[in-house]
Chain A
């Protein structure tokens, strides 16, 4: 069975501080995908990033960076110089294309981390 754990339920930081959101996953599959989604106060779910299990290269996109480590089954998300607009609930998710012929439809979500940036 697949599982995603986001141990941090809520985090609050002062604006301009850096913050890291943790994500630990469990899967028996050798091929899988990891995702991060953002859910701002308006409620929609916004796709941020996808990584596949064969690509452990860290990724940076502006103030956002992701650290994927298979050795620890973690896919952590860091926001540098946080801004008030970063306030949202962030979800980590996992899927595996091995269990179906149709693609990675079995997205398993973590419980989310509510991030509050204090002005």
Chain B
């Protein structure tokens, strides 16, 4: 399997512009997560989906952020309008999520390589 694929790897944009980050989860995984990593706040969960449905978006910083998962193999995280404080590395992760005690390959989040976003 190719693993979790994120694009672009790097994004440089100007304040006020719309930014769209993309993620393709591992085939067969039913849970998808978006994280943000900054020096100040470390790794933060922004939102996660189960079977393409958003389950918890309490980590989304504000209304400028939105995420969609139109199908099992694709998700986007959009920032509109972008601000310099949004500069961070954004990670997507996927897992085969099951309730209760997990088997060997279940409930392990595998991460993509990340998108480094710079908003000038």
Contacts and interface: CB of A to CB of B under 8 A. Distances in A.
Contacts of A33: 102, 107
A103 B116 contact: no
B97 A112 contact: no
B114 A44 contact: yes
B43 A91 contact: yes
A111 B109 CA distance: 18
Interface of B is mostly: strand
B89 interface: yes
Nearest to B91: A45
A11 to B, nearest CB: 18
Contact of B102 (A45, A97, A101, A106): A97
Interface string A67-109: 0000000000000000000000001000101001111111101
Interface residues of A, number: 27
A43 B100 contact: no
A97 B89 contact: no
A105 B97 contact: yes
B112 interface: yes
A17 B113 CA distance: 30
A31 interface: yes
16 contacts: A33-B107, A43-B113, A45-B91, A47-B108, A52-B101, A91-B43, A100-B55, A102-B99, A103-B97, A103-B99, A103-B102, A105-B55, A107-B45, A107-B109, A109-B43, A112-B42
Interface of A: 31, 33, 35, 37, 42-47, 50, 52, 54, 91, 95, 97, 100-107, 109, 111-112
